[in-house]
């Protein structure tokens, strides 16, 4: 597989200033997504570890695995991710292709989160099937997406932010991709100002 086929479109790690302004409370987001203490969670497309660290705090005696292809391309990002989880012993890191998730992890997990990245996945149903293969029976898959609002209408710190308008997905479009891959929608949560979380249960 060519490298360009492994990368997700329009999903590069954004500037920290506006990213943190958009997500001032990552711990609250993780709670809204129903990640619980003791779970083993994969943060798929973990980037600089901003949400990975929040998951680590939430799961406590559980474990979080941050996986990203970009960590392999940019060693500085791996350093940032490790620094985000500094002092926490329940964070692990994997460098690899998300489309090989079930083969990269040692055993099935309880929960997989993909935040702000699903819109750029070339074959969303194939990825969803791969996530299903990586989950325990009745495991959860949470997808955090931008609402399908025009990019010029989603400013952060005075500038339009996020993926191009045509890449954004409605909740119905997200369901139409995930459910045929072996999932049932369990809940939708609003993540203001511009996102929603779709929580699916493996069937």
Q: Which domains does the chain have, with CATH numbers?
A: 3-202 (3.40.50.150)
| Beta carbons within 8 Å of 18's beta carbon, 6+ residues apart | 156, 157, 159, 161
Query: What pLDDT is recorded for position 114?
Result: 98
Within 13 Å of residue 203, how many CA atoms lie on the same side as its CB? 12
Distance CA 145, CA 154 (A): 13
Question: Within a 10 A sphere around the Cβ of 153, how many other Cβ atoms?
Answer: 10
The backbone torsions φ and ψ at residue 3, rounded to the nearest 5 degrees and listed phi first, read: -55, -40
Provide the CB-side half-sphere exposure for 92 (13 A, CA): 11
Q: Quote the pLDDT of residue 11.
A: 46
**pLDDT < 50 stretches in the chain:** 1-7, 9-11
pTM: 0.91
CB atoms within 10 A of CB 127: 22
What confidence score (pLDDT) does residue 150 get? 98
Exposure string for 43-73, b = 16+ CB within 10 A, e = fewer:
bbbbbbbbbbbbbbebbeebbbbbbbbbbee
How far apart CA 34 and CA 10 sit, in angstroms, is 27
How many Å apart are CA 67 and CA 121, to the nearest integer? 15
Consecutive H or E run containing 168:
none
In 45-194, DSSP assigns E strands to 63-68, 91-95, 109-115, 135-146, 155-156, 159-160, 183-191
pLDDT (0 to 100) of residue 201: 99
- Strand order across the beta sheet in which 183-191 lies: 91-95, 63-68, 40-44, 109-115, 135-146, 195-202, 183-191
């Amino acid at each position: 597989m060519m490298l360009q086929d492994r990368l997700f479109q329009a999903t590069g790690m954004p500037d920290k200033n506006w990213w943190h302004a958009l997500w001032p409370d990552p711990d609250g987001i993780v709670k809204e997504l129903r990640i619980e203490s003791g779970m083993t969670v994969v943060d798929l497309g973990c980037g600089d570890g901003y949400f990975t660290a929040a998951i680590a705090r939430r799961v406590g005696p559980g474990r979080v695995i941050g996986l990203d292809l970009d960590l392999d391309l940019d060693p500085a990002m791996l350093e940032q991710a490790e620094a985000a989880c500094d002092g926490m012993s329940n964070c692990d890191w994997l460098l690899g292709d998300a489309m090989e998730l079930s083969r990269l992890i040692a055993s099935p997990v309880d929960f997989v989160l993909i935040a702000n990245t699903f819109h750029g996945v070339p074959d969303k149903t194939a990825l969803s099937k791969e996530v299903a293969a990586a989950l325990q029976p009745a495991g959860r898959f949470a997808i955090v997406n931008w609402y399908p609002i025009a990019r010029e209408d989603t400013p952060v710190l005075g500038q339009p932010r996020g993926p191009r308008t045509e890449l954004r997905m409605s909740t119905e479009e997200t369901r139409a991709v995930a459910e045929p891959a072996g999932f049932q929608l369990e809940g939708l949560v609003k993540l203001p100002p511009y996102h929603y979380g779709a929580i699916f249960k493996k069937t």
